[in-house]
Amino acid sequence: MRSTMMDAPLQVSRILDHGATVHGTAESVTWTGAEPHRMTYAEVGRAAARLAHGLRAECGVTGDERVATFMWNNNEHLVAYFAVPSMGAVLHTLNIRLFPDQVAYIANHAEDRVVLVDTTLIPLLARSIGAMTTVRHVVVVGGGDPAPLVEAAGDRIVVHRWDDLLAGRSDTYDWPEVNERDAAALCYTSGTTGNPKGVAYSHRSIYLHTLQVCMPEGFGLGPTDRELAIVPMFHAMSWGLPFATFLSGASLLMPDRFLQAAPIAEMIAAERPTLAGAVPTIWADLLNYLDTHEVDISSLKEVIVGGSACPPALMRAFAERYGIQVVHAWGMTEMSPLGSVSRPPAGATGEEAWRYRYTQGRIPAGVRARIVGPDGEPMSADGTSVGELEVRGPWVTARYVGEDTPDEEKFRGGWLRTGDVGMLSPDGFITLTDRAKDVIKSGGEWISSVELENALMAHPAVLEACVVGVPDERWDERPLATVVVREGASVDAEELRDFLSASVARWQLPERWAFIDAVPKTSVGKFDKKVVRSRYADGELTVRELSPQ
């Protein structure tokens, strides 16, 4: 029996129109180091119409052509987030932190036709644009000199100014009705092994994901909120925040290129966000900064941490010293990215609530999850069986861009293999213990590198700790602990091992220790364990070996 309901597609232009009218007085704020740049959502809506007209008229964008951004988090990036998908084209957020040849590879793979670039990023884009074979138009946001781009790409590209492109255009646009399963936006994984791989989000997946982000069990966004989106807009669609703020009427605060602790603290004090989202290192830096600077961050009630697991000590410190709840969220570029949010269930209080907060969190109705063994056999969701996590749902990718059939290494029978190892509880809480490739296989047993790191980072003298598996003649692999000591503190390997032995089984205690200046990070701020392992292999680390206990 067919329903009698209207056939109204889920599409990005609906989020734009809703935000620009119903929430037209909410504001989008870009930090500039000086006077913040403010737009109302109504103004964002008008600018999006102008940008779409400009892209159509000057850059010839029609159909599903790809329009890339090479930008910080700012108002113009937000305008592009809405204008490009709404006009039926495909937004491609280029990751400015990748190597130039990776950026060019991605732009070519996606067949980008236009690139929007922040004036401060012209020098960086100039390093890859020469190798971008499909790009014909570059739109410069701001007043910088585009000469480096022209020098690199020659007359293959036409350079436009954002202000000129939008000037004199109509501030309304008759957004087309789209097939909700058509692509709206592209994002490539950062590709720690092999070439980056593309995920093409649909209008439908973005719309459904946006609703989930707004839900109380998601990030809980409403019109009285002000959301500080530090997570880059080129990274996994910025956790859905640009769309979710528009849908919910929350205001959106963006740091542009000012990502150090001092300007972030200054922005929080001035713009008074109620919520914020960033990777753990941003929060660790901010906490350090607050130790020595008096800053009013009392507007914040909750900060969402994702990208990698947050050390429990950091979560506790924010709660206990500043009354700010740190909420874990877990996800992947392949998942739009929201996979789970760690809110304790009803009735959990005190230490029990903390134990829930340390997990990766609970899956929403839009995500189905299961744990599978080495041969792909489903395991029990009993909270203790350890296996690889697999997921599926309407905002999970089924394959990568350009693949006719899903890559068997990443997909299995309609499920996405996350590459994460952990447990799933009967009530949907995910606890990840490691990346499948980072688990340390010691004498036939598994040691979680992440658990060792968290235990180490609970020591007051430890700023950061990264643990990797290194070859061992007797046990196949053993953990190597690399430690960054907090400024002004001092500690040695014996003391840290003793400290660990209170919470870690003796056979898991590392023998190999190295004190380093900083943990190498990937382009998105995660510990780069590949680099740590290769530094060890190349003898670049000063390693002290304790005798086994």
- Residues annotated catalytic, as ranges: 189, 334, 441, 446
Which CB atom, from 275 or from 317, has the smaller least distance to its own copies? 275
The 8-class DSSP code of residue 36 comes to P
325 within 8 A of 228, measured Cβ to Cβ: no
Tokens 């499948």 identify what position? 436
C-alpha closest to that of 271 among 228, 315, 212, 218: 228
354 alpha-carbon distance from chain centroid: 23
Nearest to 108 by CA among 189, 184, 198: 198
Of 221 and 514, CB closest to its own copies: 221
Q: State the minimum distance, in angstroms, from the CB of residue 485 to its own copies.
A: 41
Of 9 and 142, which CB lies nearer to its own copies in the complex structure? 9
d(CA 259, CA 72): 10
199/396 Cα distance (integer angstroms): 9
Q: Are 205 and 180 in contact (CB under 8 A)?
A: no
Whole-number minimum distance, CB 421 to its own copies, in Å?
Answer: 21
**Distance of closest approach, residue 520 Cβ to its own copies, in angstroms:** 31
Helices (H), 87-171: 100-110, 122-129, 147-153, 162-166
What is the nearest approach in angstroms of its own copies to the Cβ of residue 335?
A: 10
Q: How far is the CB of 165 from its own copies (least distance, A)?
A: 23
Give whichever of 211 and 509 is closer to its own copies, judged by the CB atom.
211
Nearest by Cα to 178 from 211, 202, 198: 202
Our CB check for its own copies shows the closer of 63 and 488 to be 63
Give me 140's structure tokens. Answer: 């410069």
**Residue 505 beta carbon to its own copies: minimum distance, rounded to whole angstroms:** 31
CB neighbour class for 40 (10 Å; exposed up to 12, middle 13-18, buried from 19)? middle
Spatial separation of the C-alpha atoms in residues 314 and 284, rounded to whole Å: 7
Nearer to its own copies by C-beta: 224 or 534?
224
Q: Which is nearest to 401 in space by CA: 137, 201, 119, 128?
A: 201
Tell me whether residue 44 or residue 284 sits nearer to its own copies (CB atom): 44
Residue 185 one-letter amino acid: A
Which residues lie below 8 Å from residue 405, measured CB to CB, with a gap of 6+? 399
CB of 537 to its own copies, least distance (A): 36
Nearest to 152 by CA among 100, 222, 223, 213: 100
Residues of this chain that bind its own copies (CB under 8 A): 1-8, 10, 14-15, 18, 21-26, 64, 90, 181-184, 198-202, 204-205, 208, 211-212, 214-217, 220-224, 247-249, 343, 345-346, 362-365, 381, 392-401, 403, 414, 416, 426-428
Shortest distance in whole angstroms from residue 72 CB to its own copies: 26
Question: Which phi and psi (to 5°) does residue 479 adopt?
Answer: -75, 140
Instruction: Assess whether the previous peptide bond of 520 is cis (omega < 30° from 0).
Output: no
Sign of CA dihedral 443, 444, 450, 452: negative
Q: Which is nearer to its own copies, 344 or 525 (CB)?
A: 344
